[in-house]
Amino acid sequence: MRDHRGQVPGHGHRVFRAHHPGPACPRRIGGRGLGGAHRAIADRGRGGTRVTPGRLQCTRCLRPESNCICRWITPTLTEADVLILQHPLEVHQAKGSARLLHLSLSGSRLVTGEAFDPLALQNLLDTDHRVNLLLYPGDAEGCHPDPLPTEPSQIRLVVLDGTWRKSRKMLHLNPALRQLPRLALQAPPPSRYLIRKAHRPDQLSTLEATCLALQQLQKGPSVQFEPLLAAFAGFVASQRR
């Protein structure tokens, strides 16, 4: 699923709190770095200040001021919860779609890591007593005799944001993820994600794959994700200039 051309992770058995979408694009500041790419990953969604070596940075989307994506944020309501597990190497990937997805989806969480602390990961998965579905092809390792819920409001969609190689490594390093029942996309359309290389034509961006999965869970035609997908097309076009 790289970003479904990208997918998920944790780093050094640390789990960082998710960013919850904040107000409009906050003020930006410049200054010296904090010393380390992963030191400033914890997103608490209250605006605050964000410092990057020699660059002005948006405190909401965490992009350089010149590449701010806040104009593409499209508030979108979902019944299912969405937990995005992002590989650390995707955090500063300018062409990544996970942060735009997170800032647009109501009730989503974005957590960065590769090898998560088992207890912390389980706490994320146990929130609200929803049934977790991993957006990933193939079958889970565990047995799941109980029927899965049919109502999106009872489901948490777990999404891995990273390259296919990184997402496979995340599954290998986190047994709890391998045990989750899986949701595979059914006949996905061609990707609009033309700014990152795909190894197969059915590989989608994290944003596209998640929107399609949420539509699939609703079991019927839905146009609620079209504005977000249209905004994503604008984001892709802006990155190609």
Are 86 and 161 contacting, i.e. CB atoms less than 8 angstroms apart? yes
Q: What is the pLDDT of residue 32?
A: 33
The SS3 assignment for 96 reads coil
Q: What is the pLDDT of residue 23?
A: 45
Instruction: State how far the Cα of 73 lies from the Cα of 235, in Å rounded to an integer.
Output: 10
What stretch of H or E contains 100? helix 98-104
- Domain positions in the chain: 2-19+67-240
* Angstrom distances, CA of residue 68 to CA of 38, 64, 86, 107, 156: 20, 6, 19, 22, 29
Burial of 218 (0-12, 13-18, 19+ CB in 10 A): middle
User: Which two three-digit tokens encode residue 44?
Assistant: 């608490």
Q: What is the pLDDT of residue 1?
A: 55
Q: What is the pLDDT of residue 66?
A: 86
Low-confidence ranges of the chain (pLDDT < 70): 1-54, 142-146, 188-202, 221, 241
Are 232 and 97 contacting, i.e. CB atoms less than 8 angstroms apart? yes
Are 214 and 190 contacting, i.e. CB atoms less than 8 angstroms apart? no
Q: What is the pLDDT of residue 202?
A: 58
The closest alpha carbon to 159, from 102, 201, 119, belongs to 102
Q: What is the pLDDT of residue 81?
A: 96
Q: What is the pLDDT of residue 195?
A: 45
